[in-house]
Amino acid sequence: MSSQRTAFVEPRREDARFTQKRRYQMLIDGKSVEAESGETITRESPAYADLVVSEIPRATKGDAERAILAARHAFDEGPWPRMSGSERSRILARVGEAIYEHREELAVIECLEVGKTIRQARGEMGASAEFWRYAAGHAQGLTGETHNSLGDNAIGLMLREPVGVVGIITPWNFPLLIGSERVPWALGAGCTVVVKPSEFTSGSTIRMAELARDCGLPDGVFNVITGYGDPVGQLLAEHPATDFLSFTGSFRVGQIVGGLAASNIKRVGLELGGKGPQIIFADSDLEAASDAVARSIFGVGGQACIAGSRLIVEAPAREEMLERLTKIADKVVIGDPLDENVHVGSLIHRPHLEKVESYVNAGRKAGARLVTGGERLSNVGNYYAPTIFDAVDTDMSIARDEIFGPVLATFSFETPEQAVALANDTQYGLSAGIWSRDITKAMRTIRQVRAGRTWINSAGGGAPEMGIGGFKQSGIGREMGHYGFDEYSTFKNVFMGLNPVSTPWVE
């Protein structure tokens, strides 16, 4: 184990950006409303001890019902699904610009509620605006199919139509970014939506919906309800008036909501957990690879489903990679997320910090070698040191479970076949990375890895043009790109007889 030299910046409570608690309202049918019970949920910032930064309505089942029925009415009777693609496109583009113009406000909200750094949050807000812009550009050109080879007397059409009312449940780690991977695609397809953000991090989603309303989105098209999974998320999944459910979160909860949706044969899109492998061949640019691996697993405290939490490195490069990663881990600056020089902020809350600690302790007990880290950094907030394990066996919990923390498990391999076997030895299949200067070897390897979102000589890159989603127990369905519009569309078969010939069936 290295001597821990991680720099820590103590959280400062005097920053003017959080001197006042933010009080939010839900958005139902175009109106900002309280919960019918009058009850609220307060959110203490995970980065600053005993500092309440937001208060949201605690929605009841009745509130959720109102939001769903508002979306249903807006879809069945309102103008949105009947607008031309160009009209919808113009409004979505305005929303993207509004998000960009308010990116600092939105970044501060997520910085305080999630605990991520202000630099990280700013980048996410810019990416979110870009997602809306892309969806706006493509909403105008959505197409179906024609079949003109059915003979002289017939023609066939496949009409694209919006799937209907979409329930969207988003997680606490990237509330606005993940919401922006889904909402503009659903709206661009002509659907109406009800979004339920995490009770921990609802602020930025509410503000996004308010901005959309101000940009001219009709009432009832974009609704936000806040509160707990039971009853709010549960009703979104099982209500007969919702036609599609999009859920991002853990495998365990995904099983539950998927089962609820199945009760009335509702289509679902699920993005669930991950245990991303990062395969490093000895011929790689090890400096670039180590920097990308560290950013992937230690950035945002490892609280990302696509984090590369398993390092699978070719034996000749193992010691050098571990040495490089240890040096990076020890230079990471952790602490006050509003400090511009901090690389990593806080974990989401104390129970999660304790969960990460329990996995690290289990890894030690099972015989894995702790290379660096393995400790919390302050009693103020929920800060944990970047942690690296070596000599990890595939049956250890740190090798198999999604820890969702800054914990890297290291394995080595001798042949490409061994690397692929290690990469695929998991229930998950969300993300994977390959590093090699030999592009043929890298492509052959990536083809064999069972994961939906992959990188070669990169980690975490992407674009709204490209669809994302998981294999195996990491979920079903695809978001973004043209795949995202297909996700929120349904297709109608129209067979037309052009010159019907009256031939009696019965003489």
State the catalytic residues: 271, 305
Q: Taking a C-beta distance cutoff of 8 angstroms, is the pair 223, 176 a contact?
A: no
Nearest to 487 by CA among 142, 158, 77: 142
Report the alpha-carbon distance of residue 43 to residue 32 in Å, rounded.
Answer: 19
Look-up: residue for tokens 């640019």?
285
500: helix, strand or coil: coil
Residue 496, Cβ density class (10 Å: 0-12 exposed, 13-18 middle, ≥19 buried): exposed
Report the alpha-carbon distance of residue 276 to residue 409 in Å, rounded.
Answer: 11
Report the alpha-carbon distance of residue 152 to residue 55 in Å, rounded.
Answer: 65
**Runs of H (alpha helix) within 152-285:** 175-180, 183-188, 203-214, 234-238, 251-262
Report the alpha-carbon distance of residue 193 to residue 190 in Å, rounded.
Answer: 10
Look-up: residue for tokens 């969207």?
168
Which residues are bridge partners to 333 per DSSP?
7
Look-up: residue for tokens 């989401």?
348
Q: Taking a C-beta distance cutoff of 8 angstroms, is the pair 400, 275 a contact?
A: yes
Pairing type for strands 333-335 and 7-9 reads: parallel
b/e sequence 5-20, b meaning 16+ C-beta within 10 Å: ebeebebeeeeeebee
Report the alpha-carbon distance of residue 457 to residue 459 in Å, rounded.
Answer: 7
Output the six-digit token pair for 428. 């998950």
Report the alpha-carbon distance of residue 40 to residue 472 in Å, rounded.
Answer: 38
Q: Taking a C-beta distance cutoff of 8 angstroms, is the pair 407, 376 a contact?
A: no
Q: Taking a C-beta distance cutoff of 8 angstroms, is the pair 186, 92 a contact?
A: no
Look-up: residue for tokens 């179906």?
144
Which residues are bridge partners to 491 per DSSP?
160
Output the six-digit token pair for 77. 């009777």
Name the phi and psi angles at 135, rounded to 5. Answer: -60, -40
Report the alpha-carbon distance of residue 371 to residue 30 in Å, rounded.
Answer: 53
End-to-end CA distance of the chain: 91
